[in-house]
Amino acid sequence: MDITGAATGDSPVPGPQTWSGALLGATLADVQTAVVVVDDSGLIVSANGTAQGMLGRSFEELVGQDSHDLLHRDSHGHATPRTRCQLRNAILAGRTEHGDSEWFARGDGTLVRLCWLVAPCSGPERTGALVLLYESNPGVSDEGVDEVPAPLSELDRLTLLAETTTQLTSTLNVDEALRRLTALTVPRLGDWAVIDLLTEQDEVRRALVTEHKDGILVEREDLQGPMPPVPQESPMPLSRALRGAASSLAGPATYQGPPDSGIAVEQRRLFTETGMHSAVIAPIRGLRDVLGALTLGRSERPSAFTAADLPLLEDITRRAGLALDNARLYQRQRKVAETMQRHLLPQLPTVPGVNMAVRYVPAPHASSVGGDWYDAFALTDSTHALAIGDVVGHDLDAAAGMAQVRNMLRAFTWSRPEAMPSAVVTQLDNALKHVAEVPMATMILATLALGDDKLWQLRWTNAGHPPPLLVSHDGRTRYLTEAHGILLGTGMIRPRPDAVTVLPPRTTVLLYTDGLVESPHHSIDHGLDRLRRHAASLAHRPLDSFCDLLLEQVRPDDNDDDVAMLALRTPT
């Protein structure tokens, strides 16, 4: 009799069912123990009804699958490494072996803890083994029984530490680093992760509380927020960790007595709200200061943390501290550069009858500040200068170089108000070689003046910059591609051309930097066409709305540069 319950027939080529029937014989047909039959490579060739019920899988779902990959798991539900699987090694070696209380995956994704026995056997065609699966205490539920998850092997520990280093050092965003830290530790080490940070003003903020729920990480914003100050004499675990003391164990009982501080009150609330029965708390140290503390808690798994878990947690927080230190330093430098750049950008002059608007948007959070800038100032009562530019670089040097270029341009333009824009830019280019530490820059210098016919005239020269865009009130557009010369700082001497155009009433002129149109995944022509089409559709909008919507609709999502814009609109 075949234990699979399927007819075997007299096929000339033995299949899995006929081979298992020959291998098992009729004596195992009514065996009540779960039996899985595997070949000498570990592939499942049959399983009796008891095994199918215990594993929650049909005969068709089992046969032909690798027994290790399909069934064997660690206590967290992860596949165990093949080379360290005692069950698989016994099958491949053809030896009898027994294993106690290991985890196997059921068809619905749940885990079941079973003992196993491998019994090698052979048939007329092939060799293999019978794998008997049974509960260590039949009829006794796992509920209420302390389950001790398999401790991490030395290889698992080193792998986790290597992942921690790689994941945390590959971002300079503090919030992203915190999310990665919780994802590395939950659910691998605990069911909850809590990160408390010390601010530069020595205030405490519960920055992130994450739980593992229904197979995903869920952020608990209701448990996050400001915390009471750190007491200097408190012996409580979190208070000690925030002062830089060694890591320690904690539980609900730790905070059940009269609270010695506001932090102790918050910790008691944390244990009540989360249901954590065991936790480990370790300080997060930077190079010079304590940055915060990491708490890992267990609420779902019955086993408690022990002192043996503390060294691994300290190794993790040590790496986290260095990564957070770097991220904070980067953000501090970035804030300085952004502040300096914003203060260097000028206020707009008042031009009678002409509406003007400017925008500056710093580079995305993952990038450094750039050297984009704009300027507008009066030369005479009837003539104003307009400029926009981009100094090469993405750091404080670029922002400082931008200030030098802008200030020199103002000085040269003011000293020669009658000069053509090309002559002023040529003088600036020569000065950059000897005065400013600016490698290269692009820019447009233009003058706006009212002609005898009462129409505004724009005269400009372009030093390697994206061309200005002219938009009529009825949506017609034109790029001002004339007067295009080489960028600043090349060391080459080339004549710089000028161009002039009359601006009809209700005409919009847009000067912008390349961050508005450039993308690593599209050509510059694609960006320019995108800008032209959106500008045409927004021609009827008020100028401030025109600029805001252009930034929203045109700026590429993968933009890695800052953006400066200067727009003007002539009167009716």
Whether 118 has a pLDDT exceeding 60, the answer reads yes
pLDDT, residue 340, reads 63
453, 504, 566 from 352: Cα distances, Å:
16, 16, 17
Side-chain-side CA neighbours of 110 within 13 Å: the count stands at 9
Q: By C-alpha distance, which of 236, 231, 151 is closest to 188?
A: 151
Question: Lowest-pLDDT range, 199-208, 238-247, 330-339?
Answer: 330-339
The answer to whether the bond into 231 is cis (omega within 30° of 0) is no
Taking only the tens place, the pLDDT of each residue in 220-236 is 999 999 999 999 889 99
Give me the torsion for CA of 550, 553, 557, 560, rounded to 10°. 0
Average pLDDT in the 427-451 region? 87
For residue 314, give both structure tokens. Answer: 């300290």
Angstrom distance (rounded) from CA 7 to CA 133: 25
Q: By C-alpha distance, which of 534, 555, 538, 536 is closest to 546?
A: 538
Average pLDDT in the 450-459 region? 91
Residue 327, classed as helix, strand or coil, is helix
pLDDT, residue 136, reads 67
Average pLDDT in the 165-169 region? 88
How many other CB atoms sit within 10 Å of the CB of residue 180?
A: 20
Average pLDDT in the 374-393 region? 90
For residue 250, give both structure tokens. Answer: 């904690």
Chain centre to alpha carbon of residue 319: 18
Residue 377, classed as helix, strand or coil, is strand
| Most confident segment among 89-93, 124-128, 143-147, 183-187 | 183-187
Taking only the tens place, the pLDDT of each residue in 82-103 is 777 888 888 888 888 888 878 8
Residue 306, classed as helix, strand or coil, is coil
**Mean pLDDT of the chain, nearest integer:** 85
Phi/psi of residue 384, nearest 5 degrees: -125, 150
Question: Lowest-pLDDT range, 48-62, 281-295, 499-513?
Answer: 48-62
Average pLDDT in the 463-474 region? 96
Confidence of residue 395 (pLDDT cuts 50, 70, 90): low
For residue 172, give both structure tokens. Answer: 């300079």
Taking only the tens place, the pLDDT of each residue in 56-73 is 899 899 999 999 989 988
Angle at 481 between CA 476 and CA 482, to 5 degrees: 120
Give the global pTM: 0.50
Domains with residue ranges and CATH for the chain: 16-134 (3.30.450.20), 154-333 (3.30.450.40), 345-569 (3.60.40.10)
Interhelix angle 396-415/421-432, nearest 10 degrees:
130
Taking only the tens place, the pLDDT of each residue in 508-560 is 999 999 999 998 888 899 999 999 999 999 999 999 999 999 999 999 877 77
Q: Which residues lie below 8 Å from residue 198, measured CB to CB, with a gap of 6+?
A: 204, 230, 242, 289, 290, 291, 292
Phi/psi of residue 181, nearest 5 degrees: -65, -45
Average pLDDT in the 98-111 region? 83
